[in-house]
Structure 1
Amino acid sequence: MTDFTGGEFAIGETLRVGRLGYGAMQITGPGVWGPPRDPAEAKQVLRRAVELGVTLIDTADSYGPYVSEELIHEALYPYPEALAIATKAGLVRTGPGVWVPVGRPAYLRQEAEMSLRRLGVDRLDLFQLHRVDPDVPLADQVGLLAELQAEGKVDRIGLSEVTVAQIEEARTYATIDSVQNLYNVANRQSEEVLQYCEASGIAFIPWFPIQTGALAQGDGALGEVARELGVSPAQVALAWLLAKSPVMLPIPGTSSVAHVEENIAAAEIELTVEQLARLDGLAS
């Protein structure tokens, strides 16, 4: 039996994962472009995450591009039975730090087929539209994902950086089982989306889940709580996310084995009601 890290959540009711996962964006080069400086360490980070119980790894074709998916295959294939790999398509890379939405169905199909090949699988556990392309009807973008699902090439469908209205429209074209939006202890701009996901049983995957910065310094609540518990501010930020909602699936990323160990240890932190209240007050 799997001991799910951070507790268990079933994406789409059947894809069972630990609620604290790993985001594989940072195992690429600077600007999320090209290979990492130390590919061997990047692969060790992936292996260590799985050793520590991570059962959800989130990646994208655009990370590198392609580098992240290739490293996941090199490090972890053949994959443990309990491991789910989520990937995304819909952002084209033209250089370091440059991300351009492209949602043409033919392009999304091509990228899904290539992700299948790079990851070495017959079906993608969770395939997410990385960004909505404003120049392509949402019906065409999500409709293509639904086609791939009907063909058996995709198990579950997700969206990224969307509004409640976009989720509702997308759900008329396909079953949406996850949403990945920017969200952390300091940035709650997707609060309405989180509430919608919770009410609908949709997994909410917060990207950029650790945003400490000045909040962790001096008398800031994040730093205060970290000192009270004898842990790092990053761990407190992750523990807060896990406590925030049962549909929350944080995916902190790192290129360091030590940091991946620290992040995963956050699943064991229990915040008091008073500490949670203080952290709730940090929203900008």
Structure 2
Amino acid sequence: MAGPSEVADTIGAADRLVVVSPHFDDAVLAVGALIAARVQSGQPVEVLTVFTGARDDARHSGRREAFADYVVRRAEDDRALKVLGAQTQRLGLFERIFREPPPIGPLGSFHTPVDIAACPEVAAVRGTLEETLASDAIVLAPLGIGRQIDHVLVAVAALGLAPAPGLLFYEDFAALSERCRRSHPVSRLRPFEFRDSPGWAGPGPCCRMAAMSLLVGGPDPAAALGLQIHPAHWTMTALPTSPPHEEIQLRALAEYRTHLTTLGGARRLRALIHRSHTRRGGDLIWQYHP
């Protein structure tokens, strides 16, 4: 495990930090406390949300209703990022529910196809990340833990650029399930004891995430790219979080009212995040060293 001061210094030395969020709430769920800390240190932080477009035609009305009104979700995101003090950038791609062909069955919106690395959305995300890295920003991208297709897609785009200078990775919210962590080729390199799993503070949400990861199947991001993961090339750092920054994260998450119930409600979410920070030592950041 790398020392927290080394990674913190790398992040702090950059002109800005760009945190890549597959959907509206993903970055805040995973590393909201880190974002709050960097903002309060005076560093500009930008949350780049990838899937922010919605189809407004009648053909997609059923799918739109299933994932809530995007006008509402964008407004929630605006309020949440204002709480954190982060800037907003939205890529405008369509999440899986709105992409063609229509997903089939209840798991169709989550399943990752074996050829995902060739899809045009991966190229679009990769191009944006290349431009961002060229601007001397630090980019913090998700590892794609949990096997949800949109998270895997973003992770494939980012992993395809490794070991680009300035590219770091964070563990998705699904990593609060230790079973999800151990099913990912990178995060399983540094397993935690099951007795320390944040999931004990909220068995329902974490069991659902673990079950969904198992049921949807499909390749993990490294397999999709044909990458071999070698332990010697990856280091994990736990960046400690302070109670005030955790509280800011939770206040920001309270703005995502549309999805709070699916995560067990505000009280359960608070317990999960607090246990994660205390049992795992903070927000977990990964770096690739060739």
Query: What is the TM-score of this pair, normalised by structure 2?
Result: 0.36
Structure number having the greater helix percentage: 2
Higher RCO, 1 or 2 (CA under 8 Å, sep at least 6)? 2
Query: What is the TM-score of this pair, normalised by structure 1?
Result: 0.36
